[in-house]
Amino acid sequence: MPGAVEGPSWKQAEDIRDIYDFRDVLGTIKHPNIVALDDIYESGGHLYLIMQLVSGGELFDRIVEKGFYTERDASRLIFQVLDAVKYLHDLGIVHRDLKPENLLYYSLDEDSKIMISDFGLSKMEDPGCVLSTACGTPGYVAPEVLAQKPYSKAVDCWSIGVIAYILLCGYPPFYDENDAKLFEQILKAEYEFDSPYWDDISDSAKDFIRHLMEKDPEKRFTCEQALQHPWIAGDTALDKNIHQSVSEQIKKNFAKSKWKQAFNATAVVRHMRKLQLGTSQEGQGQTASHGELLMPAPGGPAAGCCCRDCCVEPGPELSPTLPPQL
């Protein structure tokens, strides 16, 4: 069946009722840049998610195939992503796994629109509970998630900043063969605009990225603020062809990349315990100790109820990301 994908088994599902509740929300989404969920079917102990069919391929593949690619092209792509994510945030939905592999082209047409897909880690913001599960994809995850702090929709804005960075140079802002050093970079928000790869990129683009890849989520741009930045809303994005440099770096750094692998709370807590990073990061407000997930905030649901964000199954171990071949 076109567009049908097998969902989690009954044992893997966090809460079947919550999945159906979330289905009801996703079913109401009407945005041109978001893959629609048409329905969910239950059969043989499995859930089948019937999604809108998109056939244009992944973002990186399309960029590599192009013969001409500019900052302005990247700006238009990011505009579509920001507009769609703002729509989700206005509905109270946090995607939590934004990355280039989840950005698909609707069709093979040259001017095809981009579509956000894969809501497997998405959550509805609940006034009675805090988002706390450490999930996402290594390299795109926000510092506050790795620091085991309660977080918000600002984590999506950080991920968009990482995507924008990659679209302009072809390699990730954080990279190391050693997981401990990778996490340290992200936790400190340490990244550079390396020469010569950023020499021809506008100061406006760099300013845009700095505002999204801001360590403090309270100071980080929201989608609405990012949409008003001159690099998106104005004419500061350059028209110089950067295809050769960007496509070469994409092919070197993301071929057979392990960046696609997602992780969850169990995996990241296990790694942070091993790497002894957890104790060096103080959480704000209510935080979790090693191997312990956050409980509902005071004044929330009664003790013992599930806050939907803490019922996770053990997932795959984090894989080291590929270092950029600069």
Active site residues: 97
Structure tokens at 159: 């991920």
Pair 148, 269: CB distance under 8 Å: yes
d(Cα 204, Cα 222) in Å, to the nearest integer? 17
* DSSP-based three-state secondary structure for 259: coil
**Among residues 5, 108, 58, 96, which one has the least CA distance to residue 255?**
58
Long-range pairs of 37-40 with CB within 8 A, sequence gap ≥ 24: 37/119, 38/3, 40/7
Q: Compute the chain's Rg from CA coordinates.
A: 19
Pair 221, 157: CB distance under 8 Å: yes
d(Cα 53, Cα 3) in Å, to the nearest integer? 5
Structure tokens at 233: 């809303």
Cβ neighbours of 117 (radius 10 Å)? 18
